[in-house]
Amino acid sequence: MTEFTTRPEILGTFGVVTSTHWIASAVGMSILEKGGNAFDAAVATGFVLQIVEPHLCGPGGDMPAVFYSKSKDKVEVICAQGPAPAGATIEHYTAEGLKLIPGDGLLATVIPGAFDGWMLMLRDYGTMSVREVLEPAIYYAEQGHPVLARVSATIKGLGSFFEKEWPTSYETWLPGGSAPEPLANFRNPVLAQTWTRIISEAEAKTGREDQIEAARDAFYRGFVAEAIDSYVQTAEVMDASGMKHKGVLTAQDMAGWSATVEAPQTYDYHDWTVAKTPAWGQGPVLLQSLALLKGFDLAAMDPTGPDFVHTVVEAMKLAFADREVYYGDPEFGQIPTEYLLSDAYNNERRKLIGSQASLELRPGSVPGYERQLDATMAMLAEMSGTGTVYEPTMSHLTEKRGDTVHIDVIDRWGNMVSTTPSGGWLQSSPIVPGLGFALNSRAQMFWLKDGLPTSLAPGKRPRTTLTPSLALHQGRPSMVFGTPGGDQQDQWQLPFFLRYVHHGKNLQASIDMPLFHTSHFPGSFYPRTSSPGEIMVESNIGTETLDELRRRGHKVTVADEWTVGRLTAARRDADGLLRAAATPRLMQAYAIGR
């Protein structure tokens, strides 16, 4: 008998789209139906997610993608993670009375990267026009879409704060003075006008590529950049520090930046090769976890048993400890990624995984990086968790801190895209007047201490948590997957991938299985706290597993079943059969295909 899954694993040969919102998935599929490829579909899907999940991503946010282009026969990464502005110096921020960069407001903003990343993807890998990929988003901004209950709750929770401190956000999100109720039809006409104007400026040019370039210019060197500049120069707004601050982002910062295409970081695991972003994102954490786990017989373990959960969690603790010390923008210093992924290093690190849960943060020592290790550990001891949570700005950390969205697409030609757009949340900073969207708060991932890979510096990319995945099977690009979830993104992708590889589950069954993660290491988001030894596990993993994990020293928080993780995945088999799946958790994500 076929194993029961919450939804069918979607099968077909024409194309599959899976994302964190059913409307966005349907839009992506409609692009494939019109003859577009996976890149066109991903772009259109991404713009729609900015409208229907505005608490999770927005036009002022960022976007990494890992993808395979059939025509180039190559796996690549798009980095649409904007760097810190020229005025973002440690001296300036500490002079403002800060020890940590707030999780919201204008000082937390870096250059918005997502738009340029989408346009770069469209120009170099897609086939459609700016109009074709933006029109679905414009439709939902103009005509409305059913507000998610979580969006409604987020807006309601921030309503009085918006009214008092961020009036432009109050105007946008509480039109007429009240927050939208769940499933109410909600519009953002100002954002629709922004996109419509970008199309008209693009269509002043002839030729698809020239139109895309004109759209990029309109955003980064035209009316969008001008509106952002004039707002940031004059606004002084309340943020999570409990003080009002002005931002430092300028039109000049935006004009000089563009998204880039890079080589992925890869790791071979059994007959799979996993491709991730380089260490300006947290992607190598998953690879390092695989390097540690390669020494265990995971296939022999029950995938919901205590041995599996314990072993995977302890490996992740070690990999994330190394993330804290060594990851950062490779353009600002040598990141020892190859050493961190080497067999010799991980064979030694693996010996630290014992029968009991570790309660210590235990980064490894990389030759030549001893001072960096000492400086990071000293700084973490001094700084982690010093942020004071300010009411009502951060009425509840998870409501105030936005999350992320995810998209996986595979088309009939074999192109595949995995992308995790984020930032520019409705709760991250005030709406920019005349544009209908907010800036991001990604700078909160920098430290205000000199000499670290993640120290704030102008032009440096923050070490983000955004981490899409692409896996090759026996050298053939086969699978794309990912999830929102900040520091949990790789922690949820890892058990999904391991269960898929080792336990013969299909995509949907692998996604449905109970999930877990740890908050053992310092969080990437303000106020940067950690909970040594703590793990969160979905209750449906069973009391026997939960009791045994406690016996092994884990501090177990039991989550309700179907509440952890928002995974989606798609695969192309060697014979061309396409598969897709999406999590039932939150009852939003959807996989579509035929």
Q: Is the pLDDT of residue 395 over 50?
A: no
Residue showing tokens 């946008």: 172
pLDDT of 392 reads 27
- For the segment 534-550, the average pLDDT, to the nearest whole number, is 97
Rounded-to-integer distance, Cα 544 and Cα 537, Å: 13
Distances (CA, A) of 134 to 130, 153, 162, 433: 6, 28, 29, 21
Q: Is the pLDDT of residue 389 over 60?
A: no
Sign for the CA dihedral angle at 387, 328, 406, 482 comes to negative
DSSP state of 487: G
Note the pLDDT tens digit of each residue in 4-38: 999 999 999 999 999 999 999 999 999 999 999 99
Rounded-to-integer distance, Cα 463 and Cα 457, Å: 12
| pTM recorded for the entire structure | 0.96
Note the pLDDT tens digit of each residue in 207-251: 999 999 999 999 999 999 999 999 999 999 999 999 999 999 999
CB distance 55 to 110 below 8 Å? no
CB distance 532 to 360 below 8 Å? yes
At residue 474, what is the residue type? Q
Omega of the bond leading into 495 within 30 degrees of 0 (cis): no
Omega of the bond leading into 392 within 30 degrees of 0 (cis): yes
Domain residue limits, the chain? 24-144+181-261+406-445, 145-180, 267-384+470-593
Higher per-residue confidence, 40 vs 532: 40
Phi, then psi, of 473 in degrees rounded to 5? -110, 120
Rounded-to-integer distance, Cα 426 and Cα 173, Å: 8
CATH class as words, domain 267-384+470-593: mainly alpha
pLDDT of 386 reads 44
Rounded-to-integer distance, Cα 74 and Cα 69, Å: 6
- For the segment 52-60, the average pLDDT, to the nearest whole number, is 95
At residue 569, what is the residue type? A
CB distance 328 to 375 below 8 Å? no
Note the pLDDT tens digit of each residue in 110-159: 999 999 999 999 999 999 999 999 999 999 999 999 999 999 999 999 99
Q: How far is CA 216 from the centre of its chain?
A: 23
Note the pLDDT tens digit of each residue in 166-218: 999 999 999 999 999 999 999 999 999 999 999 999 999 999 999 999 999 99
Average pLDDT, the chain: 94
**Backbone dihedral region for residue 576 (phi beyond 0: left; psi -120 to 50: alpha; all else: beta):** left
Confidence of residue 529 (pLDDT cuts 50, 70, 90): confident
CB distance 240 to 101 below 8 Å? no
Q: Is the pLDDT of residue 540 over 80?
A: yes
pLDDT of 384 reads 56
